[in-house]
Amino acid sequence: MNRDRLDFGNERIGRLFRAMFFPTLVAMVFNSVLNICDGMFVGHGVGPDGLAAINIVAPFFLICTGVGLMFGIGASVIASIRLAEDNVKAARIIMTQAYIAGAVIFGAVILCSLVFTRPVLYLLGCSPALEDLASDYLLWLLPGLFFFYLQCVGMMLVRLDGSPRYAMSVQVVAAILNIFLDWLMVFPLGMGIAGASIATSFSCIVGGLMVVVYFLRFSSRLKFYRLKATRKSLMLSLRNVGYMANIGFATFVTEAALGIMIVAGNFMFMSMLGEDGVAAYSVGCYLFPVIFSISNAVAQSAQPIISFNYGAKSPVRVRQALRLSLRTGALCGVAVSLAMWFGAPALSLVFLPAEAVAYGLAVHGLPLLGLSAVCFSLNIVFIGYFQSIEQSARSTVYTILRGAAFLVPAFILLPLVLGVDGLWLAIPAAEMLTLMVILVEESK
């Protein structure tokens, strides 16, 4: 296998960051295109109610993503430090423990979702008109969730193992497959929203299996390690899993915050504008992961560089990586904001027919939502930095501020002052306030 041969401890920071960033960005962009295509096929093949139903289930999927990324980030940070200490065995143990923990958690999530499908949907803000569609989407999504976890954790560890291009290929292959199957099942086969969900599950299975193949056949240092079946080994595993979760918790909260954003928005848009409002908001929710994916590509590219050099006691290289990631994040945020500001009509038309009431609402709201891009991107980079240097408390606090403490009050209060515009401006306001807090704290 043609490996990337990255030397995190000695290579120039700029070259390392570029080697990590561009494959990661390509993978993230493909995932964003996947989200957009999924919404486009459902919006035009099923209708606005189908789009709204997926938006109901989206927070559930985001929480599952958060669990995967939490253990992925946590395992990658700890394994980076252990590799910097030349302790390969400990890094392999950490990787194995992360996968075992995920198997237990996702097994429980899938079982509970099967048994309590209806209560879960109404907890997410479902209405009777959307229940059947949302139920179809959720139930067909469940078979792929465990493999999705394998992919989430694997992306971090494959990059750490020195193969960002293989990590890119996993996400690109899964995304292209998902897009094709989406089209096939929604239009030629006429399977509706269930077909879109089946396409997502199948692509998750393929991505997860590609990760397993990598660690079994191609990996350099990170491989699965046979754990001892003793009480001492179990206690050590529980301790390590807890530490991984602690480091990666801010990432889980970030994904959960996207879920909170969608649930809070669903309730508020439903109360003010009905199903059409939720459908319009769902366009923004399909596009918002584009902002997150690009920002996350910056943070994930910097993470192994920062963590390795933090473990190697090289603070100058850590600061260089942080400055470079902040500049890159700011530029990406500006580009996304401009695209949403000037491209709102075209972007809305991708998901909704021009004659739909929801289309007009989306065209008006997307430019306002796009104002959040720069602050959001910088917040994600800062949060990723604090995770990378084991300052999990700070990263978690900042994530809670932007994802709940500022966001929920903004959704409640701004519409009272600004009307419908306040619904769209709640997210930019929360991101701006969080960035102000971070900058004030960093200036001390």
pLDDT tens per residue, range 62-73? 778 888 888 888
What is the C-alpha separation between 139 and 18, in angstroms, rounded?
40
* 434 band by pLDDT with thresholds 50, 70 and 90: very high
Domain count, the chain: 1
The C-alpha torsion from 241 through 244 and 246 to 252, rounded to 10°, is -110
Q: Which string of b and e fits 130-157 if b means at least 16 CB within 10 Å?
A: bbebbbbbbebbbbbbbbbbbbbbbbbb
d(CA 57, CA 263): 9
Contacts of 333 (CB under 8 A, 6+ apart): 291, 295, 373, 374, 375, 376, 377, 378
Q: Residue 151's closest CA among 209, 111, 66?
A: 209
**In sequence order, what are the residues at sequence separation of 6 or more whose Cβ sits closer than 8 angstroms to the Cβ of residue 63?**
255, 256, 259
pLDDT of residue 53: 81
Whether residue 8 lies inside any domain: the answer is no
> Is 321 contained in some domain?
yes
Confidence of residue 5 (pLDDT cuts 50, 70, 90): low
Is position 7 within any domain? no
CB neighbour class for 224 (10 Å; exposed up to 12, middle 13-18, buried from 19) = middle
pLDDT bracket for residue 2 (50, 70, 90): very low
**What pLDDT score was predicted for residue 9?**
78
pLDDT tens figures, 193-243:
888 889 989 999 999 999 999 988 888 788 888 888 788 888 888 888 888
Residue 34: the pLDDT is 67
Is residue 366 within 8 A of residue 287, CB to CB? The reply is yes
Tell me the pTM: 0.71
CA dist list (Å): 421 to 19, 115, 413, 414, 429: 41, 39, 12, 8, 12
Q: What is the mean predicted confidence (pLDDT) over 332-358?
A: 88
pLDDT band at 382 (very low <50, low <70, confident <90, very high): very high
pLDDT > 80? residue 78: yes
pLDDT at 355 over 50: yes
- Burial (Cβ within 10 Å: 0-12, 13-18, ≥19) of residue 52: buried
CA 354/CA 423 separation, integer angstroms: 22
Looking at the domain assignment, is residue 197 inside a domain?
A: yes
- SS3 label, residue 162: coil
Q: Is 86 left (phi over 0), alpha (psi -120 to 50) or beta?
A: left
Which pair of structure tokens corresponds to residue 163? 């193969």
The pLDDT confidence band at residue 437, using thresholds 50, 70 and 90, is very high
Of residues 33, 73, 177, 60, the one with CA closest to residue 119: 60
Task: Give the mean pLDDT of 95-107.
Answer: 87
Find tokens 């939720």 and name the residue: 278
Neighbours of 373 (CB within 10 A): 27
**How much is the mean pLDDT over the chain?**
85
Q: Is residue 4 part of a domain?
A: no
Q: pLDDT tens, 282-291?
A: 888 877 777 7
Residue range 247-272: mean pLDDT, rounded: 78
DSSP string across 201-244: HHHHHHHHHHHHHIIIII-SS--------SHHHHHHHHHHHHHH
Specify if 42 maps to a domain. yes
* Lookup: tokens for 73: 């980030």
* pLDDT > 70? residue 20: yes
Which one, of 441, 428, 371, 364, lies nearest residue 402 by Cα? 428
Dihedral, CA atoms, 278, 281, 286, 287, nearest 10 degrees?
Answer: 170
Parent domain of 307 = 13-443
Predicted confidence (pLDDT) at residue 174 exceeds the cutoff of 50: yes
Tens digits of residue pLDDT in 107-160: 888 888 888 888 888 887 777 777 888 888 888 888 888 898 888 888 888 888
Residue 107, pLDDT score? 85
Residue 1 lies in a domain: no
Tokens 């989430």 found at: 152
pLDDT band at 414 (very low <50, low <70, confident <90, very high): very high
- Specify if 311 maps to a domain: yes
CA dist 295 and 288 (Å) reads 11
- Give the other-Cβ count within 10 Å of 331's Cβ: 14
